[in-house]
Amino acid sequence: MARKAVKRSWTKDDVRELRTLARVKEKASVIARKLKRTEGATRQKAFQLGVSLRSLKKKRKA
């Protein structure tokens, strides 16, 4: 039997953690795991807050 999805509200602490991790350019999948949420829910909340989850790190040429 499949798991039933449970909708959890975003707390102020969750939002603060999301903003902090996004600021240090953590990957969306890692942020989602730390917040115990799906990557889709994490990306959607970040979009609603206007927070960028682009974690593009420039590679140095050797």
Indicate left, alpha or beta for 2 from its phi (over 0: left) and psi (-120 to 50: alpha): beta
Residue 24 domain flag: yes
Residue 17 domain flag: yes
**Which pTM value belongs to this model?**
0.78
Residue 42 domain flag: yes
Residue 39 domain flag: yes
For 35-50, write each residue's pLDDT tens digit.
999 999 999 999 999 9
Q: What is the pLDDT of residue 13?
A: 97
- Please tell me the total count of domains within the chain: 1
Residue 19 domain flag: yes
Q: Which are the contacts of 52, defined by CB distance < 8 A and separation ≥ 6?
A: 22, 46
Residue 36 domain flag: yes
Residue 58 domain flag: no
Which domain, by its residues, includes 43?
13-49
